[in-house]
Structure 1
Amino acid sequence: MNTDMQHGLMRKKAHGDLDTVWKRLLDTLTAAKAPVFATVDHRANAQGAGLDMTGARVVIFGNPAVGTALMQAAPEAALDLPLKILVWESPDGVMLSWSDPAWIAGRYGAAPNLEVVAKMRGMLEKLTSAAAGS
């Protein structure tokens, strides 16, 4: 896993093509009973505007029983919540990227070692590992 803590970005290389990794991610979210609020297919949207780009899809999901605790500690964290995972095609293969909840907490003045942050980090690790096929 690659990290860019200056920007709060976490990255993991996945096994398989974009469609396979995307399906694994959505199936894992369903199995975890994590509500999916929206999905965005950036490539399809670009093509609809007459543009082209590599594959990039975002799933927006969360558990209000968990995320609310972080927003109570730092209301502006709502700008980065619900959580999101990006599945995208890079020159090195398909990647998963997401914002580290500890970085989100710190960005808005909440303690990065809050219990809710640990829960979010654990869930993101589980979801991305399953989606990556690792």
Structure 2
Amino acid sequence: MNANNGIISQISRYAVTETIDRFAAILQAKGITVFARIDQQAEAEKVGLSLPPTQLLLFGNPKAGTSLMVAEPTIALDLPLKVLAWEATDGKVWLSYNDPNYLKQRFSLSDELVKNIAIIAPLIYQALSSADRQ
């Protein structure tokens, strides 16, 4: 796991599409809304550009996010939550997301409020584990 500028990146043993598929399935099983999935490689190809496999997933739970936005409206710039699966030049696939502690500091969130977004780490761990999806 790497942390840089408030971004946590974890290695994935799966291809970009499967990494996002696995994470999205976990979200669905937990009743967490997937708002959008953007295949940035496909979008680049549409305009004649090349990009390694890169997909962005936007997701969240309005019950959790609303209280954050009431406390600090500008956190809506970082909500809904996002994960980015991307393939590096060495062929390794990474899953990156905003560190909840970074968001806590950036928006002066209370410990109680940051719990609403800290759930991301165990969900990512579950998606990247070699065990079957649950």
Q: Give me the TM-score of the superposition, normalised by structure 2.
A: 0.88
Percentage of pairs with the same residue: 35
Q: 1:94 matched to which residue of 2?
A: 93
Counterpart-to-counterpart distance in 2, 1:63 and 1:19: 23
The residue type equivalent to 2:3 in the other structure is T
Report runs of 4+ in structure 1 exceeding 3 Å deviation.
none
Displacement of 1:49: 0.6
State the secondary structure of the residue aligned to 2:86: strand
Displacement of 1:92: 5.5
Alignment check: 8 A CA contact 1:77 1:105 kept: no
Alignment check: 8 A CA contact 1:70 1:105 kept: no
Counterpart-to-counterpart distance in 1, 2:64 and 2:26: 18
| Aligned counterparts, 1:39-78, within 5 A | 39-78=37-76
Displacement of 1:104: 1.8
Displacement of 1:29: 1.1
| Aligned counterparts, 1:1-134, within 5 A | 1-4=1-4, 7-90=5-88, 91=90, 93-108=92-107, 110-111=108-109, 113-121=110-118, 123-133=119-129
Counterpart-to-counterpart distance in 2, 1:95 and 1:30: 21
Structure 2: stretches of 5+ with no match in the other structure: none
The residue type equivalent to 1:132 in the other structure is L
Alignment check: 8 A CA contact 1:41 1:58 kept: yes
The residue type equivalent to 1:117 in the other structure is V
Counterpart-to-counterpart distance in 1, 2:14 and 2:38: 20
The residue type equivalent to 1:26 in the other structure is A
The residue type equivalent to 1:102 in the other structure is N
Displacement of 1:125: 1.1
The residue type equivalent to 1:104 in the other structure is L
Q: Give me the TM-score of the superposition, normalised by structure 1.
A: 0.88
Alignment check: 8 A CA contact 1:3 1:10 kept: yes
The residue type equivalent to 1:118 in the other structure is K
Task: Work out the number of aligned pairs and report it.
Answer: 129
Alignment check: 8 A CA contact 2:20 2:85 kept: yes
CA RMSD in angstroms, aligned pairs only: 1.5
